């Protein structure tokens, strides 16, 4: 059991200074002053001067690796546990990507299970960029209903040269099957949609909302901040159609494409334009391939997108966009939890999972990360390493 004393709790709403008691993998009690019961083996974590908030949810991570778009040697490696926990992330949704041939659902599911054994919570989307969707059982709906970890379909690519260029009707069928699969299994039934920079933009999503009875909560278009034009279209989609939009965090903020918008900036823009803070989520697109530039801007090769960028953009929401922490946290905690229907996640509340981040209240530098009641990161250092990370030092 852990007792976190005198922390400034953001649930994500501001609860003021509170003590929080954790037992097993749950949050047991939250109160202004809780007694220290050492006899019961309660270990105290001092939270004075620190903000305590829910562990982050990253709804789009290429946990198996992604890329391969410059040939086989550009396939990125699998993610390791500390790539995730060092960024305060305690829940990830894994997905395939452009390559639904050499990367498979069976492999994705196995990787997700492995990460869960190592201590975090994981889910996956069925399918890749491709249509027809490559599934494990043969059908989108069956994957969602029969496989515990599958919460939806994606990332399906639209408006991109790498997309299978589905018709509106083909796309509608995928969203419909995903929705019904979600209803029958009590899951989200969410379609994660990779938006490219083609001219169709969000037309297919608008078509679904105009022509069918499917709800906006079944579709999450991502990479909306890849260009100013798409960002503007995303803002209109959120305002006029009640749609949800996802902003990608992993681009290097010093080397954004001329038209690209940093996620925290995009969040600020959307709020100013009148979009509700409930309609926006962030995800990292972590472990996909990313170009690396030298300080003078010359291309030096390919790197790997970082899950830790999710935290950076949340923090920049506070430090750069001057949003209250309770608002900056929404796209990475409560909003993805609601859309993905993860009822135990995204909030600090009695009975919820003990997924927490303790950070300096001013700098927001991460101090402690707790996943399912276990301390993963302590004093900003990795405490629990992934299976093969732990052995790194012993290898010759
Ligand atoms: Zn994508």
394: pLDDT strictly greater than 70:
no
Ligand 1 centroid to residue 47 C-alpha, Å: 38
Percent of the chain with pLDDT over 90: 89
Pairing mode of beta strands 356-360, 50-54: antiparallel
The larger pLDDT score, comparing residue 118 to residue 302, is at: 118
194: pLDDT strictly greater than 60:
yes
pLDDT score recorded for residue 393 = 52
Ligand 1 centroid to residue 27 C-alpha, Å: 34
Ligand 1 centroid to residue 382 C-alpha, Å: 29
339: pLDDT strictly greater than 60:
yes
The SS3 assignment for 72 reads: helix
3-state secondary structure 220-286: EEECHHHCHHHHHHHHHHHHHHCCCEEEECCCCHHHCCCCCCCHHHHHHHHHHCCCCHHHEEEECCE
Ligand 1 centroid to residue 148 C-alpha, Å: 23
d(CA 46, CA 191): 41
Ligand 1 centroid to residue 155 C-alpha, Å: 6
Kindly report, residue by residue over 153-192, the tens digit of the pLDDT.
999 999 999 999 999 999 999 999 999 999 999 999 999 9
Ligand 1 centroid to residue 96 C-alpha, Å: 9
Supply the residues annotated as catalytic. Answer: 285
Ligand 1 centroid to residue 247 C-alpha, Å: 11
Ligand 1 centroid to residue 244 C-alpha, Å: 16
pLDDT score recorded for residue 54 = 98
Q: Give residue 309's Cα distance to chain centre.
A: 11
Q: Which residues contact 138 (CB under 8 A, 6 or more apart)?
A: none
Kindly report, residue by residue over 213-243, the tens digit of the pLDDT.
999 999 999 999 999 999 999 999 999 999 9
Kindly report, residue by residue over 258-314, the tens digit of the pLDDT.
899 999 999 999 999 999 999 999 999 999 988 787 888 788 888 899 999 999 999
Secondary structure letter of residue 71 according to DSSP: B
Assign 376 a pLDDT band (cuts: 50, 70, 90): very high
pLDDT score recorded for residue 391 = 64
């Amino acid at each position: 059991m852990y007792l976190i004393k005198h922390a400034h709790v953001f649930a994500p709403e501001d609860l003021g200074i509170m003590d929080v008691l954790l037992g097993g993998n749950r949050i047991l009690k939250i109160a202004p002053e809780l007694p220290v019961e050492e006899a019961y083996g309660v270990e105290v974590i001092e939270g004075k001067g620190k903000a305590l908030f829910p562990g982050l949810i990253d709804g789009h991570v290429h946990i198996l690796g992604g890329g391969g778009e410059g040939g086989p040697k550009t396939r990125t490696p699998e993610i390791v546990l500390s790539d995730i926990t060092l960024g305060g992330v305690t829940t990830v949704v894994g997905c395939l990507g452009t390559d639904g041939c050499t990367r498979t659902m069976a492999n994705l599911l196995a990787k997700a299970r492995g990460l869960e054994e190592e201590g975090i919570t994981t889910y996956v989307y069925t399918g890749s960029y491709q249509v027809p969707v490559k599934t494990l059982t043969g059908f989108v709906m069956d994957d969602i209903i029969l496989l515990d970890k599958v919460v939806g379909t994606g990332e399906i690519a639209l408006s991109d040269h790498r997309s299978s260029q589905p018709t509106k009707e083909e796309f509608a069928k995928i969203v419909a099957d995903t929705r019904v699969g979600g209803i029958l299994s009590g899951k989200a039934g969410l379609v994660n949609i990779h938006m490219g920079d083609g001219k169709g933009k969000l037309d297919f999503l608008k078509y679904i909302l105009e022509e069918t009875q499917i709800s906006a909560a079944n579709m999450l278009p991502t990479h909306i901040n890849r260009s100013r034009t798409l960002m503007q279209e995303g803002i209109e989609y959120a305002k006029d159609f009640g749609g949800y939009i996802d902003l990608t965090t992993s681009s290097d903020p010093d080397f954004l494409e001329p038209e690209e918008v940093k996620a925290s900036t995009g969040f600020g823009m959307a709020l100013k334009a009148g979009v509700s803070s409930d309609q926006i989520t962030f995800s990292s697109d972590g472990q996909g391939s990313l170009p690396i530039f030298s300080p003078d801007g010359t291309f030096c090769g390919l790197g790997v997108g970082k899950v830790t960028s999710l935290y950076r953009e949340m923090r920049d929401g506070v430090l750069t966009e001057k949003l209250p922490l309770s608002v900056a946290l929404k796209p990475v905690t409560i909003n993805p939890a609601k859309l993905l229907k993860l009822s135990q996640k995204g909030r600090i509340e009695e009975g919820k999972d003990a997924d927490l981040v303790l950070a300096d209240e001013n700098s927001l530098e991460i101090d402690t990360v707790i996943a399912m009641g276990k301390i993963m990161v302590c004093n900003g250092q990795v405490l629990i390493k992934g299976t093969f990370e732990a052995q790194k030092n012993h290898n010759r």
